[in-house]
């Protein structure tokens, strides 16, 4: 039973890290796309929007990195507690739930930014 819990936590951590890696790649591509748009002739409002997206993409890439590092540290903690033979603490389970909430919040934020960005790019064409 405990082993199943541990393997489930590890599996979730790996899934989150893989998805965060995909998010990082996707948002780096959006950043490159934005740099290409910056070479066009843009209105003052469009330049303001462009700067907004540059800032948001930068911030979200930092958030992706930070969450990925937190998940990695948490996974190491899970493995350490298991190897220590004392088992997982309630704090570790609580940390896992907190990371899941952080992951879901970031996923939602990235989805909103993606839609907003695609609308901006679509209006330029």
Domain region containing 43: 2-124
Cβ-based neighbours of 60, under 8 Å, separated by 6 or more: 27, 106, 109, 110, 113
32-35 LR contacts (CB < 8 Å, sep 24+):
33/121, 34/117
Report how far residue 92's alpha carbon sits from residue 86's, in angstroms, rounded to the nearest whole number.
12
Mean pLDDT of 102-118: 98
pLDDT surpasses 80 at 4: no
> Which pLDDT belongs to residue 118?
96
> How many domains, in total, are found in the chain?
1
Which pTM was predicted?
Answer: 0.91
- Place 1 in a pLDDT band, splitting at 50, 70 and 90: very low
Cβ–Cβ < 8 Å for 71, 16: yes
């Amino acid at each position: 039973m405990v082993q199943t819990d541990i393997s489930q936590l590890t599996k979730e951590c790996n899934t989150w890290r893989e998805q965060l890696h995909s998010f990082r790649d996707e948002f780096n591509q959006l950043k490159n796309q934005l740099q290409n748009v910056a070479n066009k002739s843009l209105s003052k409002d469009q330049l303001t929007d462009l700067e907004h997206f540059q800032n948001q993409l930068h911030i979200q890439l930092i958030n992706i990195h930070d969450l990925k590092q937190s998940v990695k540290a948490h996974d190491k903690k899970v493995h350490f507690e298991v190897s220590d033979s004392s088992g997982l603490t309630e704090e570790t389970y609580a940390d896992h739930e907190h990371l899941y909430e952080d992951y879901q919040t970031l996923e939602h934020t990235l989805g909103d930014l993606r839609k907003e960005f695609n609308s901006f790019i679509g209006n330029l064409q």
